[in-house]
Chain A
Amino acid sequence: MNSSALREGTARVLFSAAAAVSVVAVVLICLFLFVNGVPAMAEIGVPEFLLGAIWRPANGLYGIFPMIVGSIYVTVGAVIVGVPAGLLCAIFLSRFAGARMAMLLAPGVELLAGIPSVVYGFFGLIIMVPIIRGLAPGHGPSLLVAALLLGIMILPTVITVARNALDAVPRRYYEGALALGADHERAVFCVVVPAAASGLLAAVVLAVGRAIGETMAVIMVAGNQPVIPGSLLDGVRTLTANIALEMGYAAGLHREALVATGVVLFVLILLITLFLNAARKRGGR
């Protein structure tokens, strides 16, 4: 009796310790990022760091504004490319596809989700960049390719989350619309889609988070010039690329400035997570 009580008690302590690990992990991540990044930000000067237009570590110029703009451009581009196609494909899988068609396409979407981002990057580098180079000589790695490639990469995220939201809409909504004389397309687009709106919004926000955080695929196709791109065919560097490209050899203030770039990215992602939770909560109500 006593030994079993002891066993139960030990188990409870062990399990709660395991649960505490994720809290500890977040605290440690914040701690290490902020302790290493914030002093650099203070030394460079917050406005000079966030709004400075020139990134030239060799001359002590650490402005990440081009990278902030670059991340935003690339993400907006990816959303323009990936979200409409993804939502339409989710609607197809949820409401249009026959059982056999869905059985074929759904595993395909899962495969797309599982393909590592380097493989996407490799595809972009070998296939998409030369195509752009052929169409517009002198250009190649660019904002355009990065946006197209990221648009493809966020497809599975958008499709899976949006499909779950659409599948969760009660049948009677659709049937009610039919009873009122709507045809299939009208019932889906005017009743089912609005009913799933908060879930669809969550899908988009999740995709935005994935696009902002993507590193390797973007590095391979974006050109990576730390300058605000003037056109779709110009090269662009994102916040993530800035860290990954230079961390290998950076030292001193340069290295800390890269960690500070990570802090900016981290804060952006936290804001997106907050927004996502708000979207989900509204859906729950």
Chain B
Amino acid sequence: MRRLSRVLRWLVYAGAALTAAVLLAITGFVLINGIPHLTPSLFEWTYTSDNVSLMPALVGTLLMAALALLMAVPVGVGAAIYLVEYAPRGSRFVRAVRMTSETLQGIPSIIYGLFGMLLFVTALGWGLSLLAGACTLAVMVLPVVVRTTEEALMAVPDGYREGGFALGAGRLRVVARCALPSAAPGILGGVVLALGRCVGEVAALLFTAGTVAQVPDLLGAGPAGLFDSCRTLAVHLYVLASEGLHIDEAYATAVVLLAVVMVLNGVAALATRMMEVRDRG
């Protein structure tokens, strides 16, 4: 009896130790091998097979993620506002939205890639492009934004809203002035989560945005630059690793990706703490 308890305790410790070891192994592997290869030539504006610059991919990541969030965040937040603040509880429409939102969340990214290719690239004729990739990502992260915003809004005490109504405000004003500000850190957390998925995505982008290592020509060509193909950092890493010719540069790319993820996690943690402080206050 005593012995069983001791075995169980060691098993639990072993599970935790294994997780910690995996974390240290992966981050250590990337950082130790990658940091020495972060050379200035990797950050030159144009990619050549000599410098294997990751700059176009970095710019591509920023543009792609920004565009995707520009579409997904307003729609996602709006949907969550409708679900929490407007919809009659348990209506058939609400149930349909919840169910489809859950379904979207479980769909693997390669399916989004297929869908994006069939709709944006082929049916709409956009070709492999920044815009097609961003639209695909937007659909993919939409349920993340909806769910986190919903949770944040539901955590806002009803007293805030009642106070607003008691002062004679309409529903829109109550949402904008009472509910949303108080839910803002939670919504920010959701946006960061969505951003993280955009940054790390490959499967959904291979057949929608393509893999051309160039900065989309938005400055020179204007909106036509939206139809240029480009690659994100994650796609860049995949291409380098599968070609196997530039492993050092692949390590360096992995470092940059990991750094981005760490910063995003930091921001998310900060947002959570702000929520907790508010809940206590």
Residues of A within 8 A of B (CB): 4, 7-8, 11-12, 14-23, 25-26, 28-29, 32-33, 36, 84-89, 91-93, 96-97, 105, 107-112, 114-123, 125-127, 152, 155, 159, 183-186, 188-189, 209, 212-216, 219-220, 240, 243-244, 247-248, 258-259, 262, 265-266, 269-270, 272-273, 276-277
Knowing A121-B238, A209-B106, A216-B203 touch, does A22 contact B15 (C-beta < 8 A)?
Answer: no
A77 CB to nearest B CB, Å: 16
Which of B19-27, B37-45, B157-165, B220-228 lies on the face that meets chain A?
B19-27
The residue of chain A having its C-beta at the shortest distance from the C-beta of B193 within the complex is: A114
Q: Does the CB pair A14–B15 fall under 8 Å?
A: no
CB-CB nearest in chain B for A111 = B265
Question: Which B residues are in CB contact (< 8 Å) with A26?
Answer: 100, 103-104
The answer to whether B5 and A186 have CB atoms under 8 Å apart is yes
User: B218 contacts the other chain (Cβ, under 8 Å)?
Assistant: no
Q: Provide the residues of chain A in CB contact with B30, threshold 8 Å.
A: 119, 123
Q: Report yes or no: A215 in contact with B75, Cβ–Cβ below 8 A.
A: no
Decide if B115 touches A29 in the complex (CB within 8 Å): yes
With A19-B79, A122-B241, A213-B110 as contacts: A112 and B15 at CB distance below 8 Å: no
Do residues A105 and B97 form an inter-chain contact, with CB atoms below 8 A? Answer: no
Kindly state the separation between the CA atoms of A118 and B76 in the bound complex, as whole angstroms: 27
Residues on A with C-beta less than 8 A from B219 are none
Asked if residues A89 and B146 are in contact (CB atoms below 8 Å), the reply is no
Query: Are A87's CB and B15's CB within 8 A?
Result: yes
- Give Cα A121–Cα B30 distance, bound, in whole angstroms: 12
Q: With A and B bound together, what is the CA distance between A105 and B101 in angstroms? A: 31
The answer to whether A108 touches B23 (Cβ under 8 A) is yes
- Listed A/B pairs (8) with beta-carbon separation below 8 Å: A14-B78, A89-B16, A114-B261, A189-B8, A209-B108, A248-B207, A259-B114, A262-B111
CB-CB < 8 A to A243: which residues of B? 110, 113-114
Given A114-B265, A126-B247, check contact A18 B107 (CB 8 Å).
no
Interface residues on B, range: 35 or more
A21 touches B142 (CB 8 A): yes
Beyond A8-B172, A85-B15, whether A115 also contacts B261 by CB under 8 A is yes
- Do A220 and B106 contact each other (CB < 8 Å), given the known contacts A85-B18, A123-B26? no
Interface of chain B, main secondary structure: helix
By a CB distance below 8 angstroms, the chain A residues around B78 are: 14-15, 17-19
| Assembled-state Cα–Cα distance A14/B114 (Å) | 29
Q: A89-B15, A92-B12 are in contact. Are A33 and B87 (CB under 8 A)?
A: no
Besides the contacts A114-B264, A115-B26, A215-B110, what 14 more A-B pairs have beta carbons closer than 8 Å? A8-B171, A18-B79, A25-B100, A25-B104, A29-B107, A29-B111, A33-B111, A91-B12, A92-B13, A112-B26, A118-B238, A215-B202, A220-B238, A220-B241
CB distance from A147 to the nearest CB of B (A): 14
- In the complex, the answer to whether A25 meets B110 with C-beta atoms within 8 Å is no
Contact A96 B9 (CB under 8 A): yes
- Asked whether, in the complex, the Cβ of A92 is within 8 Å of the Cβ of B16, the reply is yes
Taking a contact as CB atoms under 8 Å apart, the answer to whether B86 and A12 are in contact is yes
- What are the residues of chain A within 8 A of B155 when measuring CB–CB? none
Across the interface, B199 reaches (CB within 8 A) one of A11, A116, A189, namely A116
Q: Does B51 contact A (CB under 8 A)?
A: no
Q: Do the beta carbons of A215 and B108 come within 8 Å of each other? A: yes
Chain A residue, CB-CB nearest to B83: A19
The answer to whether A185 and B97 have CB atoms under 8 Å apart is: no
Task: Judge whether B65 is part of the interface by a CB distance below 8 angstroms.
Answer: no
User: Which one of A14, A105, A114, A209 lies within 8 Å of B19 (CB-CB)?
Assistant: A105
Judge whether B14 is part of the interface by a CB distance below 8 angstroms: yes
B154 on the A face (CB < 8 A): no
CB neighbours (8 Å) of A91 from chain B are: 12, 15
Residues of chain B within 8 A (CB-CB) of A270 are 103, 106
**Chain A residues near B77 (CB, 8 Å)?**
18
CB nearest to A97 among chain B residues: B16
Q: Tell whether, in the assembled complex, residue A18 and residue B261 are in contact, meaning their CB atoms are under 8 Å apart.
A: no
Asked if B118 and A32 sit within 8 Å, CB to CB, the answer is yes
The residue in chain A whose Cβ has the minimal distance to the Cβ of B202 is A216
Asked whether any CB of chain A lies closer than 8 Å to the CB of B258, the reply is yes
Q: Which residues of B contact A33 (CB under 8 A)?
A: 111, 114-115, 118
Contact of A18 among B25, B75, B143, B172 (CB under 8 A): B75
Tell me whether A277 and B11 are in contact in the complex, defined as CB-CB below 8 angstroms, given that A11-B172, A105-B19, A122-B241 are known contacts: no
* Distance between Cα atoms of A141 and B67 in the complex (Å): 37
Question: Which residues on the A side are within 8 Å of B178 (C-beta)?
Answer: none
For the complex, give the distance between the alpha carbons of A88 and B18 in Å. Answer: 10
Contacts A8-B171, A86-B15, A220-B242; A240 near B108 (Cβ below 8 A) = yes
